[in-house]
Chain A
């Protein structure tokens, strides 16, 4: 006898009675579990986003911010030395005296040929010729 004929002779088994009811009961239990998990996820996501929004609101609107007027009052609260510096900065003009050594800027005479200056009398009235 061929193997496939023998295999066909193997007794078939059937599902136990009330198998459908068991499956449906399992289905409803899993559905409940899934819904609970989903609800928990939604709650967690909602709580997280609410917390983030709260942090943003607190950071943007509720924390004290420094206005220009507040900065003035802040300066008043400074130590006396700093206060004096601030006052000096505002009132006095400090002259800047800078010492400059021009000697270093001058070239020595020996390095250059002597300069000949020709003085020429310029006059419109005379006709004296210029001799070189």
Chain B
């Protein structure tokens, strides 16, 4: 179901979605429930990656669907339904992040320092450690870069769709994705270097190499 829109005929899906939305606009709760079923996992996953908190993500997902129902009349069938739902979800996530003051307090350097605190057992990091570091680095990333990266690399949207969701030009989205990936790469590399240094220090605590 998660990649349904890309794998199966997207036109058919879009027609089904638009019919469902048409019914929701008339107040049909069954159609609304179908939309919830179609999108619940994707939205919960997206918001979890955005906020880093599963419970919060579930609450925000619920709020997202409430807005889908009560603001159904604002939906214009020109855009795919997924774009519209993700726009609502990303706006809610941004508001939540602002509330939590995550926007201004964590810089990339802090993220590097945080990552450097972890001591690895060996030079070759297992995937799980790497993924954990990547998650931390992603959480430390400014939402300006984090949202397009999550939408592109985790949710599988195209750059054009992301531009539609975030209401930004495609060029801006491309630049943000590229810059965001660079930041993540730098964080991971810096982290690896820190791990190497800490391993060496453990071997020679007084620095006599």
Contacts and interface: CB of A to CB of B under 8 A. Distances in A.
B54 A13 contact: yes
Contact of A23 (B65, B127, B185): B65
B61 A12 contact: no
B203 interface: no
A108 B32 CA distance: 113
A9 B127 contact: yes
A62 interface: no
Interface string B112-154: 0000000000000001001100110010000000000100111
Nearest to B185: A3
Interface stretch (B11-19, B40-48, B160-168): B40-48
A14 B131 contact: no
Interface in A8-31: 8-16, 19-20, 22-24, 26-27, 30
A97 interface: no
B185 A14 contact: no
B41 A10 contact: no
Contacts of B49: 10
B29 interface: yes
Task: Classify chain B's interface size.
Answer: 35 or more
Interface string B64-108: 011001100000000000000000000000000000000000000
29 contacts: A3-B153, A3-B185, A4-B152, A7-B184, A8-B154, A10-B49, A10-B131, A10-B134, A12-B2, A12-B41, A12-B154, A13-B54, A13-B57, A14-B45, A15-B41, A15-B43, A15-B44, A15-B58, A16-B44, A16-B58, A19-B36, A19-B40, A19-B44, A20-B40, A23-B33, A23-B66, A24-B33, A24-B36, A27-B69
A6 B45 contact: no
A94 to B, nearest CB: 82
B190 interface: no
Q: Interface residues of B: mostly helix, strand, loop or mixed?
A: helix
Given A10-B135, A27-B69, 7 more contacts: A10-B134, A10-B154, A12-B41, A13-B48, A16-B58, A27-B29, A30-B66
B162 to A, nearest CB: 14
Contacts of B185: 3
Interface in B22-57: 29, 32-33, 36-37, 40-41, 43-45, 48-49, 54, 57
Contacts of B62: 19, 22-23, 26
B181 interface: yes
A7 B185 CA distance: 11
A6 B134 contact: yes
